[in-house]
């Protein structure tokens, strides 16, 4: 099968996030399929962008996957510049459509750019190539910017996104959703339920070898010092943003001042400085902030956590479910997880690999930490083993890639 995978923000081990298109494509290539990923050269998610050196496009091969990078308008932040960048990528897809169809001769065209506007050029390419059209659903647009960003349904950008979403449900042969509880939403918009497939995020088992790459540097020294002092670690690894509800964790730490656990927050993000300043102002000596660690060292980092924390804001959008990469990593690491969430699904509860408490409640988070610390070491180890087993049975990319391919072939 020949697959044309359109994802504005697609990355690779060389470029950084986002990784899902790479992981799926690599599995398909190893199964004997031809895969071409088409992505924009500018993305706020990548650590390193491709170098087009002034050209309109760049062709690369990474682990058997053919990448086509298209020149787009640069941007910073999440404002008008990003909207222009989206528009430039959609326009470039139209410009390159016939060439992409002729060169790739795809059997399947996947539109997968978070926003739905890539469905229009993707459908055109699919028609030219007489290929099946699949839409990969990340977030519900325009519902997400309306509910999270407070945008009006009459905002021009929202109206364009709404038109694109309507087009998806009229023309896509299949929808593959990362969100597990969208059935009612999708069918209410005219999509036959048998054309909806759920394929969440997952982990790459190759990144979790029996012999882990050792953790080094200041973070390793800090964690070794805490372990030597007999201080159990409540750890967080990931982005420091508003949606991650780390202020709730810090308030819980304040209420636990003088108790045994130490709190270690690893990563970067727009809220990190404010969180650090708040912790310093409160005199929270048991709260430590550490720089991000390289992707290959994440497994070793997580092994040093006694409890892994992940929190969310209370948002109506979570009624459609959640599929966070960070939680998959925690579970794959075999850590007992404290999950502060209110959503339609709860992998921690399903796997019995920790504790779930209400979101945005410092008292509930502190209570969850105390409860997990009160469990015996054997009980916490069993929780972690159940989480890892749950991931290996359901959420590795070799498994998920086959489920996605079944949607493309169905």
**Domain range summary for the chain, segments of one domain joined by +:** 2-202+397-409, 206-394
pLDDT bracket for residue 18 (50, 70, 90): very high
* Main-chain dihedrals φ then ψ at residue 169, nearest 5 degrees: -75, -20
User: 2-202+397-409 with 206-394: one CATH topology?
Assistant: yes
* Main-chain dihedrals φ then ψ at residue 343, nearest 5 degrees: -145, 170
Whole-angstrom distance, CA of residue 317 vs CA of residue 344: 10
* Main-chain dihedrals φ then ψ at residue 264, nearest 5 degrees: -125, 120
For 182, residues 6+ apart whose C-beta sits below 8 A from its C-beta are 137, 140, 196, 320, 321
Query: What pairing do the DSSP bridges indicate for beta strands 65-70 and 196-198?
Result: unpaired
Whole-angstrom distance, CA of residue 26 vs CA of residue 398: 9
Provide mean pLDDT across the span 334-346: 98
**Segment 157-206, tens digit of pLDDT:** 999 999 999 999 999 999 999 999 999 999 999 999 999 999 999 999 99
Torsion, CA 183, CA 185, CA 189, CA 194, rounded to 10: 0
Provide mean pLDDT across the span 267-286: 96
**Segment 1-10, tens digit of pLDDT:** 999 999 999 9
**Torsion-angle region of 225 (φ positive above 0: left; ψ -120 to 50: alpha; else: beta):** alpha
For 316, residues 6+ apart whose C-beta sits below 8 A from its C-beta are 147
**Segment 114-141, tens digit of pLDDT:** 999 999 999 999 999 999 999 999 999 9
Superfamily the domain 2-202+397-409 falls into = Glycogen Phosphorylase B; (3.40.50.2000)
Query: Are the C-beta atoms of residues 58 and 49 closer than 8 Å to each other?
Result: no
For 408, residues 6+ apart whose C-beta sits below 8 A from its C-beta are 1, 3, 108, 110, 132, 134, 174
Whole-angstrom distance, CA of residue 190 vs CA of residue 188: 6
Residue 223 has pLDDT above 80, yes or no: yes
Whole-angstrom distance, CA of residue 346 vs CA of residue 282: 33
CA neighbours closer than 13 Å in the CB half-sphere of residue 20: 25
**Torsion-angle region of 126 (φ positive above 0: left; ψ -120 to 50: alpha; else: beta):** alpha
For 345, residues 6+ apart whose C-beta sits below 8 A from its C-beta are 180, 181, 321, 322
Q: What is the pLDDT of residue 182?
A: 97
Residue 410 has pLDDT above 80, yes or no: no
For 209, residues 6+ apart whose C-beta sits below 8 A from its C-beta are none
| Sign for the pseudo-dihedral over CA of 151, 153, 155, 157 | positive
Nearest CA to 410 out of 132, 6, 202, 201 is that of 132
| Topology of domain 206-394, CATH | Rossmann fold (3.40.50)
Alpha helices in 130-271 (DSSP H): 143-149, 156-171, 183-188, 218-228, 246-255
């Amino acid at each position: 099968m020949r697959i044309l995978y359109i994802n504005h923000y697609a990355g690779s081990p060389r470029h950084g996030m986002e990784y899902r298109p790479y992981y799926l494509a690599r599995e398909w290539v190893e199964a004997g399929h031809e895969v071409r990923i088409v992505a924009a050269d500018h993305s706020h998610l990548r650590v390193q962008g491709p170098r087009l050196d002034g050209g309109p496009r760049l062709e690369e091969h990474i682990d058997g996957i053919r990448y086509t990078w298209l020149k787009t308008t640069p941007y910073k932040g999440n404002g008008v510049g990003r909207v222009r960048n989206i528009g430039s990528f959609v326009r470039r897809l139209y410009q390159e459509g016939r060439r992409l169809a002729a060169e790739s001769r795809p059997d399947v065209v996947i539109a997968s750019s978070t926003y739905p506007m890539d469905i229009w050029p993707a459908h055109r390419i699919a028609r030219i190539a007489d290929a099946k059209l699949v839409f990969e659903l990340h977030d519900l647009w325009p519902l997400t910017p309306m509910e999270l960003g407070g945008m009006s349904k009459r905002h021009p950008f929202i109206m364009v996104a709404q038109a694109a979403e309507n087009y998806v449900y009229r023309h896509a042969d299949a929808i593959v959703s990362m969100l597990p509880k969208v059935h009612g939403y999708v069918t209410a918009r005219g999509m036959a339920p048998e054309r909806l497939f759920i394929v969440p995020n997952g982990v790459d088992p190759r990144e979790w070898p029996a012999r882990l790459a050792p953790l080094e540097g200041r973070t390793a020294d800090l964690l070794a010092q805490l372990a030597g002092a007999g201080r159990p670690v409540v750890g967080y690894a990931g982005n420091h943003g508003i949606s991650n509800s780390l202020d709730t964790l810090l308030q819980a730490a304040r209420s636990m001042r003088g108790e045994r656990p130490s709190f270690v927050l690893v990563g970067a993000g727009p809220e990190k400085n404010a969180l650090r300043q708040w912790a310093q102002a409160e005199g929270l000596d048991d709260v430590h902030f550490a720089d991000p660690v390289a992707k290959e060292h994440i497994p070793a980092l997580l092994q040093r956590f006694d409890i892994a924390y992940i929190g969310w804001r209370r948002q109506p959008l979570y009624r459609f479910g959640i599929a966070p990469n960070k939680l998959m990593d925690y579970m794959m690491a075999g850590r007992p997880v404290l999950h502060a969430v209110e959503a339609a699904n709860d992998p921690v509860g399903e796997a019995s690999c920790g504790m779930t408490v209400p979101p945005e409640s410092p008292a509930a988070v502190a209570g969850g930490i105390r409860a997990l610390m009160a469990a015996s070491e054997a009980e916490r180890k069993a929780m972690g083993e159940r989480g890892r087993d749950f991931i290996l049975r359901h959420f590795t990319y070799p498994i998920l890639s086959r489920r996605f391919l079944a949607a493309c072939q169905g």
